[in-house]
Amino acid sequence: MAIEFKALLACALAWPSLAIAAEAHDADKPKLLLVPAVYVGDVRAIYEKRIQKSLSDALASSGRVELLTDKDRAEKPATPKDKLAPVKATPQSRHIDEADLWRQEGTDLAADGKAKEALAKFRESIGAYERSSAELVDFSKLADAYARAGLAAYAAGGGLAEATRLFEAGVTIQPTLVIDRRKQEKELLDAFDGAHERLENGKRFAIAVEGAAEGAEVFVDGVKIGGLPSKSGPLPLGTHYVQVRGAAWQTWATAVKLKNKDVAVAAKPVEVKKEKAPRKEVELGVDAMEDCAKAGAFGSDKCRIPAGKLGKQTGATYLVFTAVKPDRYGRLSMHPFVMEAASGATVPLKPIDLASDLADLNARGALFEADVADGTEHFAKARALTGTPKVYSK
C-alpha cells in the first residue's frame, strides 16, 4: 500500500513538469489561419459548407499544427519608453531573397545537366549577394554560390581557370567550404583542393575596424570578431566583407580586398532614430483575404499586405488557402496553398480529388491536414509562386 501511495505521489509531483513540457511542445507548432475556400466554377452550396467544415475540423484536430481564428491575438512584448524604431525593409533584403531563389534554380538546372543555364543563375545569385552584403548574415550562401558556379563553369566548358577563380572566392570567405565530390572529374577536384591549400598556406593579413558605436559588434564574412573597434585574425588574400551591426545602429558595411598588407577601415554607423508613438492599427478579419483568395494573385499587394497584418495581429505564421474546382463531369478537386504570413511567399500543395458524392471527404480531410502540416514544417520558399495558379483559369 505504501509503495502504491509513493508511486501516486511521484506522478502527482511530476504532473506540472509534464504539463509545462506539453505546453512548450505546442508552442513549437506552426500557427495557421484557414481562409474560406473559393470555388472556381459551379459547386452546390451544401457541398461548399461540407468541404469548409471538413477542412476546418481536420486542422483543428491536428496534432502537428495549431489552427487560429481572427479572434486570436498575438502576445505583444512590453514596449520600453525609448524603444528604437525598427529598420525598414530595404531593396537589399529583397535582393537576398532573389539571390536565394536564383541559387536554388541554378542547383535544379545543374542537376538536370543544363550547365550553362545553371552558371547564369549562379552568377545572378552571386551578384545579388555581393550587392546586398550589408544585410547578408549567412555568408555561407555566397560561398556556396561561388562553389556551385565553379562546378557549373567547368561543366559548361569554361575550363579550370574560371572554376578555380570561383572556388578561391568561396574559400576566401568560408575556409570550411566543401563541394559534392561525387561524379566529379579528378582535375576539377584537384583544382578545388588546390584552392584550399593555397589560401590556407599563403600569406595572411588582418583587417582593423576602427570607430565608436556603443553596443555595436564587428563581423567579417559573417563571423563576429568583437565590439567596435576590433581587429580580425589573419585572413587569406582576397575579398572579405566587413559589417558593423547593433540594435541601436543601422548596419554599416564595406568590402575589403586584402593584398599584401594589413588593412584598416573606419566604420561610421548611423544611430537608429527613436520610434514615434505608434498609430493604432485597424484589426482585420480573415475576410480581408477574400479578394486575394478569389483572384489567386498570391504575389500581389492585395494578398501580401493583409496577410502580413493578420499574421502580426493573431500570431499566425501561415495562411492556408483552398481552391475547389469541378471538372466537366462535375467531379471536384481541392487545390491547397500555404502562404507565409510575414513574406507573402505562397507554395502550392498537391491537388486532392474528391468523390462525386463527397463520400470520402473525411479521409481526404485527413490527407489535407497531413499535406498542410508537411508544407508548413518544411516550407519550400524556393518553390514560391510567381504568377496566378492554373486552377483559377475558368
Q: Count other Cβ atoms within 10 Å, centred on residue 181.
A: 10
- By the 8 A CB rule, do 236 and 172 touch? yes
Identify which of 355, 390, 376, 375 has the alpha carbon closest to the alpha carbon of residue 51.
Answer: 355
- By the 8 A CB rule, do 288 and 310 touch? yes
pTM for the predicted model, two decimal places: 0.49
Q: Which residues of 53-62 are buried (b: 16+ CB within 10 A; e: fewer)?
A: ebbbebbeeb
SS3 sequence of the chain:
CHHHHHHHHHHHHHHHHHHHHHHHHHHCCCEEEECCCEECCCCCHHHHHHHHHHHHHHHHCCCCCEEECCCCCCCCCCCCCCCECCCCCCHHHHHHHHHHHHHHHHHHHHHCCCHHHHHHHHHHHHHHHHHCCCCCCCCHHHHHHHHHHHHHHHHCCCHHHHHHHHHHHHHHHCCCCCCCCCCCCHHHHHHHHHHHHHHHHCCEECEEEECCCCCCEEEECCEEEEECCEECCCEECEEEEEEEEECCEEEEEEEEEECCCCEEEECCCCECCECCCCCCCCCCCHHHHHHHHHHCCCCCHHHHHHHHHHHHHHCCCEEEEEEEEECCCCCEEEEEEEEECCCCCEEECCCEECCCCCCCHHHHHHHHHHHHHHHHHCCCHHHCCCCCCHHHCC
Cell 494578398 found at:
303
How far is residue 38's CA from residue 18's CA, in Å, rounded to a whole number?
41
What does the CA dihedral 283, 288, 292, 294 come to, rounded to 10 degrees? 170
Q: What are phi and psi of 317, to 5 degrees?
A: -95, -20
Average pLDDT per run of 10 along the chain, which is 394 residues long? 48 46 60 94 89 94 92 72 54 87 94 94 95 91 95 91 95 93 91 94 95 94 94 95 93 94 94 73 87 91 93 94 90 94 94 91 93 94 92 84
310: left (phi over 0), alpha (psi -120 to 50) or beta: alpha
How far is residue 120's CA from residue 252's CA, in Å, rounded to a whole number?
30
- By the 8 A CB rule, do 310 and 285 touch? no
What is the predicted pLDDT for the residue at 34?
95
What's the alpha-carbon Rg for the chain, to the nearest Å?
A: 27
* All cell numbers assigned to 181: 565530390
Pairing, β 31-34 against β 318-326: parallel
How far is residue 218's CA from residue 206's CA, in Å, rounded to a whole number?
13
What is the predicted pLDDT for the residue at 374?
95
Which domains does the chain possess?
27-74+280-392 (3.40.50.10070), 91-201 (1.25.40.10), 204-266 (2.60.40.10)
Pairing, β 207-210 against β 318-326: unpaired
* All cell numbers assigned to 46: 451544401
How far is residue 238's CA from residue 293's CA, in Å, rounded to a whole number?
50
* All cell numbers assigned to 73: 491575438
